[in-house]
A and B are shown apart, each in its own frame.
Chain A
Amino acid sequence: MKNSWKIVLLLSLVVIMALFAGGLGNNPRDIPSPIINKSASNFTAQALDGNGEISLADYKGKWVLLNFWGSWCVSCVSEHPYLMELAKVARGRDDFVIIGVDFRDTVEGANSFFSRHGDPGYRHVFDPKQKVAIDWGVYGAPESFLIDPTGMVRLKHTGPLYFGWFEKVALPHIQGKTGGFGE
């Protein structure tokens, strides 16, 4: 009897320690997104350049990198040099495009951001009321989603994209070298 209680106590301690150890390994920024492996939510929204609207459905048949950002976002400044480079990659390929979604922002703020950090040249949705951002389950900025040519969300990246991300993460998906979803 005495020993059985000792075993129960020891087992409880082991379970608690295992839960703590598992929890310490989690990255609090990586909140799993339920939209991965699902059809991308379409949007038709005003373009930041004031030139009509942008619809995600128009890009079906191409890989789309949907990048949520805002001129108020500090991490977006650190991400921007890579997006300038990635825009060149996108211009050189006919199967990959980038669409920016400037949310919770003003046109003046976005233009000031481009004049300070450079204009990557691709189109941006203007989403001041965060309707598109909320529809995509976005928490903060920057957040990026890779959508495949059939319109399926293949992966989500929380935080700034880094130099080499396209070759390391996106390209294996585009070349079909990865069987699964996510990074």
Chain B
Amino acid sequence: MGRFFLLFFLLLTTISPLKAASLDEEPSEAMVRVIAKDLRCAVCQNQSVYESNSDLAKDMLEIIREKVNAGDSEAAIRDYFFQRYGDYIYLEPTKKGMNLLLWFGPLAGLLIGGLALMAAFKKWHKKSAEVKPKAEINEDMQDRIAKELKDIEV
């Protein structure tokens, strides 16, 4: 029981700071965070606008904040950046057009690979299960074996 409580308190101390950060947040700032986390910092290596310290990301964050405070919807703000930077601005590619290949290509590859592996395993299993044919012994060989056995007996 004591161990259970110890584990519970350990979990509580780990989770509570994370929760506190989002509970203290203004609703508008939470929306800024959600939008900025989805947008790529255009001059960084795979970092979001929210996480980056670059000047461009900071100014983009400021623009998002201004638009949120002006009452623009999340979709409208995302579209504002999309209209200017294209698909590249989204950290997660949209599920449209050629991007579908990115989303479902690996799954299709995995499926095809899995099927191929299954077929190969089946084939190998069948091969090993097959009974090997007995070696045929011709008459000469039989006579020779019989003769040699006879010699041993003597």
Contact = CB atoms under 8 A, between A and B. Distances in A.
Interface of A: 5, 8, 31-35, 41, 104, 129-131, 134-137, 139-140
B59 A130 contact: yes
Contact of A5 (B42, B56, B116): B116
Contact of A134 (B63, B82, B116): B63
Interface residues of B, number: 16
20 contacts: A5-B116, A8-B112, A8-B116, A31-B85, A31-B86, A31-B88, A34-B84, A104-B55, A104-B56, A104-B59, A129-B59, A130-B56, A131-B59, A131-B63, A134-B56, A134-B60, A134-B84, A135-B84, A137-B84, A137-B85
B142 interface: no
Contacts, number: 41
A35 B83 contact: yes
Q: Is the interface of A mostly helix, strand, loop or mixed?
A: loop
A137 B80 CA distance: 10
Contacts of B84: 34-35, 41, 134-137
A34 B55 contact: no
A173 B116 CA distance: 55
A50 B55 CA distance: 24
A5 B112 CA distance: 11
Contacts of A134: 56, 59-60, 63, 84
B25 interface: no
Nearest to A72: B55
